[in-house]
């Protein structure tokens, strides 16, 4: 039997849990694979949804992986500021067969030096910040550039994971996983992108984010410089 694929998800405080749990549910069905949720300790990690998730492994337990996946969320900047977490991301990403992310997790990959010159996706509200890390922002649900596979915001993590499943196990396997999960989206409202939502709803969202994290982008620019990137958007 071939060696199981090792899949490592970075789990961190204030992660957007669907960024992680959506693709984790899909990738858990790759077959012959081991999936770990990795953080500094095995203590419960609070998510932005008001509940916590238990890590399955620590950084020391997972020095390498075949697939590295980094989700996003309001805890992204804190991860970028954390030398221990960034060293793990950079080290695992340097050797991984697939380096991946969902939502603003691509900013963590970028800050770790893993997206220089790569096209990448991100949540629409911070997609332009990828240029801080010499990455090329792309407006798409899933972006594939060589062995970098990155998803857009939150729910795009399911699309991303199905795409990656198809690349690893073939389209037939990915289609079977999609059917098993009954992934057949039919949203009740057409407001899932800035284009569809319109300027008024976009402005409402931006005001809410500004109230929750008023210095988020400025802090990220400062962190980019701290990580050796001098370019401003």
Q: Which sequence positions are flagged as catalytic?
A: 103
Q: Which residues contact 162 (CB under 8 A, 6 or more apart)?
A: 26, 174, 177, 178, 183
Q: Which residues contact 193 (CB under 8 A, 6 or more apart)?
A: 124
């Amino acid at each position: 039997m071939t060696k199981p694929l090792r899949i490592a998800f970075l789990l961190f405080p204030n992660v957007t849990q669907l960024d992680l749990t959506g693709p984790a549910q899909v990738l858990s069905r790759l077959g012959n694979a081991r999936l770990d949720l990795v953080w500094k300790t095995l203590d419960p990690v609070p998510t932005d949804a008001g509940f916590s998730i238990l890590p399955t492994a620590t950084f020391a337990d997972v020095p390498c992986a075949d697939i590295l996946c980094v989700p996003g969320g309001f805890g992204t900047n804190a991860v970028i500021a954390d030398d221990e977490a960034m060293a793990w991301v950079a080290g695992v990403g340097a050797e991984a067969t697939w380096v991946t992310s969902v939502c603003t997790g691509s900013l963590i990959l970028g800050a770790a030096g893993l997206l220089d010159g790569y096209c990448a996706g991100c949540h629409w509200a911070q997609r332009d910040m990828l240029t801080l890390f010499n990455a090329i922002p792309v407006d798409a649900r899933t972006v594939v550039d060589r062995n970098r596979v990155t998803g857009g915001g939150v729910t795009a993590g399911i699309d991303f994971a199905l795409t990656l499943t198809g690349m690893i196990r073939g389209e037939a396997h990915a289609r079977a996983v999609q059917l098993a999960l009954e992934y057949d989206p039919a949203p009740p409202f057409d407001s899932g992108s800035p284009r569809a939502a319109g300027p008024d709803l976009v402005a409402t969202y931006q005001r809410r984010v500004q109230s929750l994290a008023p210095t988020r982008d400025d802090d990220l620019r400062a962190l980019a410089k701290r990580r050796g990137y001098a370019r401003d958007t």
